[in-house]
């Protein structure tokens, strides 16, 4: 492929990032930052604390997620047992679940003494992000030849030594890559901190929100927001120089190894840890005030109309699905095109911009950028899907690259010598082999869009609300019925999202 086409293939991704994030951020910086605030805002009360908190809880969450996550990752990658694919699904789905639903679930399952403490936050972060470890380190470990481990054993390595001197070094690029992504997610954590952390624990994102909305300090909020975005992008660019690890499903390739005793314990603990919160949520949706009741579920499905509760949930679900489909239709082709031929680092950093930007700053920036014809997009129906697509882009790209690395170059060369034009070759050889990547990309894009709350709630919506926002609405009303309906809707959202990810992922391996 000539360089021109190579560069052009990455253009759509850059357009998406530019339109959804880069241009608005530049616009709001230019228009609304008072230069004095660039330094002054850091001295305002609460800001330094928020930054410090974001940093240390981000680092701690990352370290703990990696430490705990590597065990189930190993077991899932190397053993074959009944229920394995269910456990993989259980562990990998939380990543895309809406924070509001998970927050509710955790509040239901954790003892009250842990509420509003850093422990609740750390546990929730681990819950969400173990998926990243499994999907990044898992495939790598899956491909480790058993003979390598056996030879280490014959050289006197105990299981702990095999782990430390063989498996960890091999996984190092994947661990770094996973760690950097987890750090980004935890640093910018908003919903979980709000729901589980309580007052006094504020990340930079929360402080940005507070400044912009509560205090009307748009300039200060923008300075904080832009700084956050640049720092994260910069740190990420620096970290992810090792291209090693990408983000895909660990396949069901047959390995005839039965579970050892310690791995059995890990399986059990993991399964419990991941079903308990969901179980608690389902319980809350069915149980009101010492009695079982289906009312919440009936309202969710529109089977029962409650006077005063005019939240049209089936319509919200439909809207969510539509947005998700639109977002996926954008994210998957754009993301795949960007990776099909170009694998340079800076593209990965560029596509991470939307994800690392505070939804408040992003929302405000879009608002003031696209307000004049012919760029009057802010009331466009495509705006929210575009933003969703921009957020999902890094994941689509990582999944595609993971599979792209697997295509043997001889196969391509063979096709070329047989006279196949590049796009024919791509269509007939690359594309079928990339199907697992497409599937993973589609699954994640759908799921992330379905569960997205921050940016969606901030951007004005002219048509029906999305499901996460309706859930938030329900939880902001008093009464048994709103509460159980909210729980039921959250459960429904988790199931729809989970099922989508599982079913698409499952069919991804021929």
Partner 1 sequence: MKYSLAHKTSRLVIALTFVGLTACGSDSPKTQELTLLAYESFTPPAGAFDAFTAQTGIKVTIALSGDAGEMVAKASLTAGNPEGDVMWGVDNTFNSRATDSEVFDGEPVAVDYGDVCVNYDIAALAERGIDAPETLDDLLSSQYASMLVIENAATSSPGLAFLLATIAAFGDDWPNYWEKLIDNDVLIVDSWSDAYYTSFTRYGGDRPLVVSYATSPPAEVIFADPPMAQDAPAPTGVATETCFRQTEYAGILRGANDPAESQLLIDYLISKDFQTLLPESLFVYPINADVELPESFIKYAPQISQPFTLPSKDIATNREVWLEQWSDIALR
Partner 2 sequence: MSLSIRHLSFSYNERELLNNFSLEVASGQTMAIVGPSGSGKSTLLRLTAGLLVASQGEILINGINVSTTPTHLRSVGLVFQDNQLFTHLNVFNNVAFGLKMAHQSRSVIAARCEELLDLVGLTEFSQQSVSTLSGGQAKRVALARALAPKPQVLLLDEPLTGLDDELHDRLATDLRQILQSSKTTALLVTHDLAEAHTIADAITHIP
261 binds partner 2 (CB under 8 A): no
Hunting for tokens 């952390």 — which residue is that?
A: 197
Which range touches partner 2 (CB under 8 A), out of 113-121, 163-171, 313-321, 370-378? 163-171
To partner 2, the closest distance from the beta carbon of 240 in angstroms equals 19
Distance set, CA 490 to CA 33, 408, 463 (Å)? 38, 44, 21
Site for partner 2 in 14-53 (CB under 8 A): none
Which range touches partner 2 (CB under 8 A), out of 53-61, 151-159, 243-251, 317-325? 151-159
144 binds partner 2 (CB under 8 A): no
User: Per residue in 417-439, is it b (16+ CB within 10 Å) or e — as a string?
Assistant: eeebeeeebbeebbeeebebbbb
To partner 1, the closest distance from the beta carbon of 498 in angstroms equals 24
Distance set, CA 270 to CA 76, 94, 496 (Å)? 11, 13, 22
85 binds partner 2 (CB under 8 A): no
x/- mask, partner 1, residues 420-439, rule CB under 8 A, reads: -xxx--xx------------
Strand partners, 291: 288
Site for partner 1 in 286-345 (CB under 8 A): 288-289, 291, 293, 295-296, 306-312, 330, 333-334, 337, 340-341
Q: Are 117 and 233 in contact (CB under 8 A)?
A: no
11: left (phi over 0), alpha (psi -120 to 50) or beta: alpha
113 binds partner 1 (CB under 8 A): no
409 binds partner 2 (CB under 8 A): no
Question: How far is it between the farthest Cα atoms of the chain?
Answer: 73
45 binds, among partner 2, partner 1, none (CB under 5 to 8 A by kind): partner 1
Q: What gap in Å lies between CA 9 and CA 163, rounded to an integer?
A: 41
170 binds partner 2 (CB under 8 A): yes
Nearer to partner 2 among residue 153 and residue 304 (C-beta): 153
Q: Are 467 and 450 in contact (CB under 8 A)?
A: yes
Short-list 456, 443, 454, CA closest to 381: 456
* Of 7, 15, 48, 151, the one binding partner 2 by CB under 8 A: 151
Question: Phi, psi (5° rounding) for residue 443?
Answer: -60, -45
Nearer to partner 1 among residue 265 and residue 382 (C-beta): 382
x/- mask, partner 1, residues 445-484, rule CB under 8 A, reads: ------------xx-xxx--x---x--xx-xxxxxxxxxx
Question: Phi, psi (5° rounding) for residue 292?
Answer: -80, 145
Q: What gap in Å lies between CA 273 and CA 266, rounded to an integer?
A: 10
x/- mask, partner 1, residues 366-405, rule CB under 8 A, reads: -xx--xxxx-xxxxxxxx--x-------------------
Q: Are 358 and 188 in contact (CB under 8 A)?
A: yes
9 binds, among partner 1, partner 2, none (CB under 5 to 8 A by kind): partner 1
Site for partner 1 in 28-47 (CB under 8 A): 32, 45-46
DSSP symbol at 259:
P
200 binds partner 1 (CB under 8 A): yes
Q: What gap in Å lies between CA 197 and CA 406, rounded to an integer?
A: 42
148 binds partner 2 (CB under 8 A): yes
Nearer to partner 2 among residue 259 and residue 309 (C-beta): 259
158 binds, among partner 2, partner 1, none (CB under 5 to 8 A by kind): partner 2
16 binds partner 1 (CB under 8 A): yes
To partner 2, the closest distance from the beta carbon of 247 in angstroms equals 22
154 binds partner 2 (CB under 8 A): yes
256 binds partner 1 (CB under 8 A): no
* Of 213, 237, 321, 406, the one binding partner 1 by CB under 8 A: 213
Q: Are 206 and 190 in contact (CB under 8 A)?
A: yes
Q: What gap in Å lies between CA 117 and CA 199, rounded to an integer?
A: 10
Distance set, CA 17 to CA 12, 56, 353, 448, 467 (Å)? 9, 29, 7, 17, 25
For residue 329, give every residue at least 6 positions away whose Cβ sits within 8 Å of its Cβ, in sequence order, or none: none
Nearer to partner 2 among residue 165 and residue 463 (C-beta): 165
CB atoms closer than 10 angstroms to residue 75:
21
* Residues found near partner 2 in the complex (CB under 8 A): 145, 147-148, 150-159, 161, 165-166, 169-170
């Amino acid at each position: 492929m000539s360089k021109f086409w190579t560069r052009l293939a990455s253009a759509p991704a850059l357009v998406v990032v530019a339109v959804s994030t880069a241009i608005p951020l530049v616009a709001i910086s230019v228009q609304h930052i008072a230069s004095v605030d660039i330094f002054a805002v850091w001295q305002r009360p609460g800001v330094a604390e928020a930054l410090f908190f974001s940093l240390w809880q981000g680092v701690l969450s990352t370290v703990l997620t990696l430490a705990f996550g590597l065990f189930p990752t190993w077991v899932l990658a190397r053993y074959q047992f009944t229920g394995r694919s269910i456990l993989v699904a259980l562990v990998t789905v939380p990543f895309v679940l809406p924070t509001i639903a998970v927050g509710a679930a955790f509040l239901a399952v954790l003892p009250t003494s842990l509420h509003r403490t850093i422990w609740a936050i750390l546990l929730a972060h681990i819950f969400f992000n173990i998926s990243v470890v499994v999907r990044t380190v898992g495939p790598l470990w899956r491909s480790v030849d058993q003979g390598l481990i056996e030879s280490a054993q014959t050289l006197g390595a105990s299981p702990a030594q095999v782990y430390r001197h063989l498996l960890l070094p091999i996984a190092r690029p994947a661990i770094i890559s996973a760690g950097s992504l987890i750090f980004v997610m935890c640093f910018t954590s908003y919903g979980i901190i709000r729901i589980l952390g309580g007052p006094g624990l504020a990340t930079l994102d929360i402080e940005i929100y507070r400044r912009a909305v509560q205090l009307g300090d748009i300039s200060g909020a923008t300075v904080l927001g832009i700084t956050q975005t640049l720092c994260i992008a910069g740190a990420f660019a620096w970290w992810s120089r090792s291209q090693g690890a990408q983000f895909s499903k660990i396949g069901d390739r047959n390995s005839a190894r039965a579970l050892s005793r310690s791995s059995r314990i890990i399986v059990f603990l993991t399964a419990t840890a991941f079903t308990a919160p969901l179980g608690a949520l389902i319980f809350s949706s069915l149980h009101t005030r010492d009695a079982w009741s289906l009312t919440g579920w009936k309202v969710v499905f529109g089977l029962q109309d409650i006077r005063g509760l005019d939240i049209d949930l089936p319509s919200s679900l439909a809207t969510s699905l539509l947005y998700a489909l639109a977002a996926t239709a954008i994210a998957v082709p754009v993301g795949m095109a960007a990776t099909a031929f170009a694998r340079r680092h800076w593209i990965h950093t560029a596509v991470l911009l939307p994800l690392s930007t505070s939804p408040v700053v992003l929302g405000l920036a879009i608002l003031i950028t696209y307000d004049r014809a012919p760029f009057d997009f802010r009331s466009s129906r495509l705006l929210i899907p575009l933003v969703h697509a921009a957020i999902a882009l890094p994941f689509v790209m990582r999944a595609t690259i993971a599979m792209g690395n697997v295509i043997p170059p001889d196969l391509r060369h063979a096709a070329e010598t047989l006279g196949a034009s590049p796009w024919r070759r791509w269509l007939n050889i690359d594309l079928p082999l990339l199907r697992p990547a497409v599937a993973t990309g589609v699954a994640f894009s759908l799921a992330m869009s379905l569960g997205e709350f921050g940016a969606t709630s901030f951007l004005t919506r002219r048509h029906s609300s999305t499901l996460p926002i309706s859930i938030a609405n329900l939880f902001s009303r008093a009464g048994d019925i709103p509460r159980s309906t909210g729980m039921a809707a959250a459960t429904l959202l988790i199931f729809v999202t989970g099922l989508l990810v599982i079913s698409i992922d499952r069919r991804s391996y021929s």
